[in-house]
Amino acid sequence: MHQRRTALVFGGCSTEHNISIISAKAIASNINRESWDLYPLYISPDGTWYEGKTACAILELDIGALLHTASPDDIRHQLQAVTQQRPQDRFSFDFRQAGIDIALPIVHGAYGEDGRLQGLLDMFAIPYTGCDVRSSALTMDKETTKICAGHHGLATAPYRTVLRHDFSKEPDKIVQELETAATFPLFIKPASQGSSIGISKVHRPDELLPAFEEAFGYDTKVLVEDAVEGSEIEVAVLGNDDPVVSVPGEIEPGSDFYDFTDKYVSDSAGLYIPARISAEQKEHIRSCARRAFRALGCSGMARVDFFLERGSGQVILNEINTVPGFTSISMYPKLLEASGIGFSELIDRLLELALEKRCR
């Protein structure tokens, strides 16, 4: 059987660097080695690419355990120690000489999930899993996601956009306007970040200024979004033109909201698959997930996140993640497993979908 050399691209320059390593490690452990010849490519936080023994050594680190026991600086120093051992393993971007047939980019967040990595692979004519440049860029920006979804009749939470440039000139005015007009609680979030990085749930007016400062530390555009009271529902979508839509799952946050610590460190959130909602609500949410996937031009994979509003029962789109997590506690593979698609089969399908997309 012919093996296709598969570049597993992981790491990256975003705040989700460590989560990318954990996702890649899970994929490397579950990929069908008879069909796919795995070729790890690690991107360090400073943007340097590594192949060979260095990339393999990074994959062997137990970053998941380190998140519970080590500081971010300690983890960064461990990663640097590995890359400094073999500087000759720096990747030259000669994909042809490396014999790479296809790429599996699992770089979460900026530079990996926003279309830039996808554009690089397009320039080298390397087929890759997941969404293309356009849909990756659209879904990475929470405002453009809302605009496109709203055009296709999908409900989103009311919001206001604030630019860093405007806020830096008149912070007091913007805060005062919100104090007068906003209904608390509300969320202040960077427009283009994943894993709840930089997001604050604001309960009182005196929390507005520090929340803006936190969010502007990650992006030049920030959303001020009404909080939706209700259930958090997630759906996995897999496919191109006629995607498979998973059973919905439900998240019960272990803290004030489902933040980074809740997702990856404390393991305190409750995950319910299938979601604790009616059969009619499940089918409606699955339909909304398919519509959102197609409205944003997605292909390959995405996790579509909703709120089911308490009282009204309205389904409200929260966001679309085009490179969802593949860790042991990640909802995307769990939802598809509950829908009859195991981890190894999921990886096979993603790679086959990438080849199918190239042949369109």
When comparing pLDDT for 254 and 272, which is higher?
272
pLDDT above 70 (res 360): no
The predicted structure's pLDDT at residue 145? 97
Q: What is the pTM of this model?
A: 0.93
How does pLDDT run across 51-68, given as a tens digit for each residue? 999 999 999 999 999 998
Q: Which whole number is the average pLDDT over 171-188?
A: 92
11-30 burial, b at 16+ Cβ within 10 Å, e below that, comes to bbbbbbbbbbbbbbbbbbeb
Secondary structure of residue 39 in the 3-state scheme: strand
The predicted structure's pLDDT at residue 209? 94
Closest CA to 91 of 47, 153, 139: 47
Rounded Cα–Cα distance for residues 112 and 114 (Å): 6
**Range 259-263, long-range pairs (CB < 8 A, 24+ positions):** 259/196, 259/199, 260/195, 260/196, 260/197, 262/196, 263/195, 263/196, 263/325, 263/329
Q: Which whole number is the average pLDDT over 95-120?
A: 95
Closest CA to 247 of 317, 350, 349, 335: 335
Rounded Cα–Cα distance for residues 291 and 153 (Å): 9
- Residue 253 tokens read as 């946050």
What confidence category does residue 98 fall into, taking pLDDT thresholds of 50, 70 and 90? very high
Q: Where are the alpha helices (DSSP H) in the chain?
A: 17-30, 52-60, 63-69, 72-85, 116-123, 133-140, 142-151, 164-169, 171-181, 208-216, 260-264, 279-295, 331-338, 343-358
Q: Which whole number is the average pLDDT over 165-191?
A: 93
Secondary structure of residue 70 in the 3-state scheme: coil
Secondary structure of residue 307 in the 3-state scheme: strand
How does pLDDT run across 291-336, given as a tens digit for each residue? 999 999 999 999 999 999 999 999 999 999 999 999 888 999 999 9
pLDDT above 70 (res 163): yes
The single-letter code of the amino acid at 278 is: S
The predicted structure's pLDDT at residue 197? 86
Rounded Cα–Cα distance for residues 105 and 119 (Å): 12
Domains and CATH numbers, the chain: 4-128 (3.40.50.20), 140-155+228-358 (3.30.470.20), 159-226 (3.30.1490.20)
